[in-house]
Amino acid sequence: MEAIFHEKQEGSLCAQHCLNSLLQGPYFTAVELSTLAQKLDEAERQQMAECGEESEEYRKFLQQPSGNMDDSGYFSVQVISSALQVWGLELVPYTSTDERINHRDPSKMNAFICNYKDHWFTIRKIANQWFNLNSLLAKPELISDTYLVLFLAQLKNEGYSIFVVVGDLPQCTADEVLKNNPILAIPRPTYRTTVSNESDPDIQAALQLSLTDERDKVSPENEEQQLQEALRLSLENFNSSPEEDDDESLLRKAINMSLQC
C-alpha cells in the first residue's frame, strides 16, 4: 500500500486530508482552503448586503463567525465543493435521486466523501479496489465491493452525511501500481466509526460476527459469491417494498442473509 497517498490526521485538518487522499497527492494546503473559505464568506456578505447594509439582518450577519472555516482548521462542505470544482468534480448527496448515482451497486462509483461531527474522510476506488482513506487510520484500509455496501449502510445508520464524487478523478501513481499488482490479502475491516457507542448493538454484533474467523472456514471465492447473492436478495426486497423497510431493518436483512449463507 506504499503507493497509496494517505495523509494522517493533524489537528482538525481532516478536510485537507480528505481532499488530498481523494486526489492522491498534496494538492491543497490549509492556507489555500482558507483562501477559498474567505472568498465564500465575501460572496455571502455581498449577498446579504443587497438587503441593505443598514438592515438588522446584515448587522447580525457581520457579527457571526464564518460558517466556512474556524480557527481549528475545520472547513465546510462548501469549501470542499469549491476545491473540487477546480478539478471538474462535483459533490452529490448519496441520498439524491440524481441518475448519475448507482444506488444498487455503489462499487460502480469512483469515490465517496463522508462527514460526521466536523470530521471528513474519503472512500475511494484505486485501480479496481476500494480503500477507506480516513486520516484517523494508521494506513489505508482495503474494502471489498461486497463490504462497501455494508460499510456505507453502517455509516448512514450512524448519522454520517455521505456524498458521491461525480466526475473523472485525476490519474495517480497508485492506479498504475495496483492495476499491475492488486492487493490480494484483504485485511479484515473494523467497521467502527466515531459514534459506535450510539449504534444499535445488534447491528454492531452482527457486523463483528460476519467479520470473525468463521469467514476463514470457506474459500474466498465461495464467500464472495454467497455475500453477493445475499446482498442482491436484500436489494430486491428493498426495491419491492421500500415503504415497509427503514434503513436499519434493511441493514439487518442484508447482514442476516450474509450470515445465513
- Active site annotation includes 134: yes
- Active site annotation includes 103: no
Cell 438587503, residue?
Answer: 51
- Distance CA(95)–CA(127), nearest Å, equals 25
Sheet of 90-93, strand order:
90-93, 161-166, 111-116, 119-126, 129-132, 141-143
The catalytic position among 6, 17, 68, 119 is 119
Joined together, the cell numbers standing for residue 114 give 463522508
The catalytic position among 20, 115, 134, 157 is 134
Strand partners of residue 141: 132
- Active site annotation includes 119: yes
The catalytic position among 14, 18, 114, 172 is 14
Catalytic sites, residue numbers = 14, 119, 134
